[in-house]
Structures are given as structure tokens and as C-alpha cells.
Amino acid sequence: MDKKIGRIFLLAAVFLFFGGATLWAAEPIYIGVSGPLTGNYAEYGQNWKKAMDLGLGWINASGGVNGRPIELIYTDSKSDPKESAAVAQKYSSDKRIVAAIGDFTSTACMAAQPIYDRAGLVQLSPTASHPKFAPGSIWSFGIIGTQAGEGPFMARYAVQVLGKKKIAVLYINNDWGIATKDYFVNPAKEMGAEILAIESFFETDKDFTGVLTKLRGYKPDLLYVPSMYNEMALIAKQREKLGWTDVLLSGPGSLYSPKLLEIGGPSVNGLYTSAVFFPKDPQPEVQKFVKGYEEKYKATPNMFAAIAYDGINLMAEVIRKAGTDRQAIRDELAKTKNFQGVTGKITFTEQRDVIKDYRHLVIRNQEFTLFEAK
């Protein structure tokens, strides 16, 4: 008898340890996630997944949402517009899925947007910052802020804080890059800066020697580069190889990634950027997230991990209030005011995007640090 009882306890322990999710009596609540798990933006997507899995674990460990666990269905879009649209079709036609999180780039989000719109399925992007994304559909929401906010912030950083008035711009030629360039250039001009030259490149470009040589000829004192970390790392290294070291490098918060430091090495020292999240922020909710992330993944979370973490927590809170009807989720999400995230408070505007507070960052000794003007 004792042996039987012992086996029962052993089996129960194994069941609890390995199959805890199956102990739920209620069906899961399914949320689709579309993001770049492979491809050029894989590092961003992997940060997303780690952060959302961390948040999901805490949500489900505390009882889930209204007694039901949340389950995330991940699909790799590579943040390619065609792939993102295909994922949107997949999620829209799956009646189990109550909302979607993604995609990563504004271009991919905007390619998928009409599909989510026709289906009546929420598309919450943690990272789309194109000013036309959220206003493009009543089902679209963005929580990172838009270039309409970050662009002028970076222009003030360059012109008023750093005192640089002769500027060249090298931007990635896609929807996001064009908007990011415009929302920096126009305010910078209004602040008295002279934009000496504007050049573009494509996502597939690897050799920037020619365009950097051309831009160097204009003798700018600051080069603003709207890009992702991989292109910026190559640009910084090739600029250094050319011996063009008397120009400051600057770019938007898309550059805030450990991969920039890893790939760029010493060549990215002195680069100026921004962030809506900084892991040394003493706020309790930030430190809970940072500690949990570091313990689970042995790495420090960056802004992209933080905004994805806010995304899953916001979605869980909305479903807790609204239930699982797609229309009810959309309506409740639109009413969000002062939701406390690790990237700041989230309040949606009438256009379903948010206004963020940004921080000045600079890379010193291959580490992102807060910049303080002397």
C-alpha cells in the first residue's frame, strides 16, 4: 500500500513539474505572435520571444486570465512583408486566436494590416513606429511611440544638446526609414542645422564604402543613420576603416541592441541614440523584469525585449477586462489609459498609438550609458 501511495505521489510530482499547463480545467486563450525568429532581424525577434515567454510564465503562474491560461502561437515572418501578410491570413482565419501581436518592422506591419482589418482582429505591434501604421486601421495599435515623436527628439539631441549643425543622413530605403529620415531632417532644419547630404541604402546592402566616401566629402560633423543594428555596425566599421573618425554617429532607438556592440565592436563607441527603456532604471516593475530576464536567460534585456514584455502584459490585462471576443478586445484596448509598463505608461491616442518619453544614450567603452550634458 505504501509503495502504491509513493508511486502516486511520484507521478503527481512529475505531472506537476513537466505538464503543469495540462492541469488547467479551462481551454487556453490563444494569441498569435508574428515576428522575425530567423533572418536579418532574428535578434530582435528572439528578444521578443524571450521577454513574452517570461511574462507569459508569470501570468499563467498567478492563475492566468479569468481562470484560463494564455498560450502564444509563434510564427516566423522574418519581418518580410509577404511573410507577414501570410501570417496575418493564417491568424485571421483561425477562430481560436483572439488577438495578434506583431509584426516587428513598420513595413511588415503595414503589409499585414489590411488583412487584420478585413478580419476584425487586433494587430498590436510592440515596435512599429511609422506614423501611418496605427491610424491605418481601427484594429491596429502601436506601443513604442512613432517617429513623429522620436525624430524631433533626436534632432534636438543632435543640434541643441550635442551642438552639431552640419549634418549628413544615410537611411534605409523602406517605409520606416523614409519616415524616420523625414521626422529628423525637418525639425533639425527648423533648429538651424544645415543638412548637407541625404543618401539611402537597401536592406540587402553590405558594402557602404562608396556612399560613405561620398558623404565624407561634404564634411559633416554628424552622420545620422536611420537603420537597424546590423547595418549600423557595418557602417561604423567601414567608416572607421576609411579613417573617417572626425564625425559623430547618431541614430534612432532601433540601434539599441547588444548585437550592435557585439558586431560593431570599438567602432560604435561614441554613437548617440535613444531608448524608452534602460535596465538600470530603479523602478520596481523594471527591476523585477530585468532580474527575472537575467536569471532566466543569463543576459540583460534591451528595449525590444522590454516593449514586447509590455505587449503581452497589456494584452492579458485587456482580455481580463473584456473577455475573448475580438471586437470587445479591440474596444477595451482603445480605452487604455496609464497602463504601467516597464517602458513607461501606455495611453492610446485617438490614432491608437502612444506618446513616449525618450532617454539620451551614448556608447562608451562598448556599453550603452545614459548621456548627461556637461
Per-residue pLDDT of the chain (374 residues; tens, 9 = 90+): 454 444 444 434 434 444 444 466 789 999 999 999 999 899 999 999 999 999 999 999 999 999 999 999 999 999 999 999 999 999 999 999 999 999 999 999 999 999 999 999 999 999 999 999 999 999 999 999 999 999 999 999 999 999 999 999 999 999 999 999 999 999 999 999 999 999 999 989 999 999 999 999 999 999 999 999 999 999 999 999 999 999 999 999 999 988 999 999 999 999 999 999 989 888 899 999 999 999 999 999 999 999 999 999 999 999 999 999 999 999 999 999 999 999 999 999 999 999 998 999 999 999 999 897 65
The C-alpha atoms of residue 195 and residue 165 are separated, in whole angstroms, by: 8
The C-alpha atoms of residue 1 and residue 233 are separated, in whole angstroms, by: 67
127 DSSP assignment: S
- Distance between terminal CA atoms of the chain? 77
Q: Is-contact 159 191, C-beta < 8 A?
A: yes
Which residues are bridge partners to 344 per DSSP?
341
Q: If 0-12 CB within 10 Å is exposed, 13-18 middle and 19+ buried, where does residue 205 land?
A: middle
Whole-Å CA distances, 348 to 147, 157, 366: 16, 26, 35
What contacts 290, CB < 8 A, 6 or more positions away? 279, 300, 301
pLDDT value, residue 317: 98
pLDDT value, residue 373: 67
Torsion angles phi and psi, residue 275, rounded to 5: -160, 150
Question: The pTM is what?
Answer: 0.82
pLDDT value, residue 9: 43
pLDDT value, residue 111: 98
Q: Is-contact 194 167, C-beta < 8 A?
A: yes
3-state DSSP assignment of residue 301: coil
Q: Where in the chain is the domain with CATH 3.40.50.2300?
A: 23-145+283-346, 148-275
- What topology does CATH give the domain 23-145+283-346? Rossmann fold (3.40.50)
Pairing of strands 140-142, 123-125: parallel
pLDDT value, residue 17: 40
Which residues are bridge partners to 201 per DSSP?
172
pLDDT value, residue 1: 43
Q: Is-contact 98 326, C-beta < 8 A?
A: yes
Distance of CA 222 to the CA centre of its chain: 25
Which residue in 186, 179, 175, 227 sits closest to 206, CA to CA? 227
The C-alpha atoms of residue 297 and residue 312 are separated, in whole angstroms, by: 18
pLDDT value, residue 23: 61
Pairing of strands 359-364, 367-370: antiparallel
Render the burial of 266-301: b for 16+ CB within 10 Å, e for the rest: ebbbebbbbbbbbbebeeeebeebbebbeeebeeeb
pLDDT value, residue 14: 38
3-state DSSP assignment of residue 201: strand
What contacts 163, CB < 8 A, 6 or more positions away? none
Assign domain 148-275 to a CATH class. Answer: alpha beta
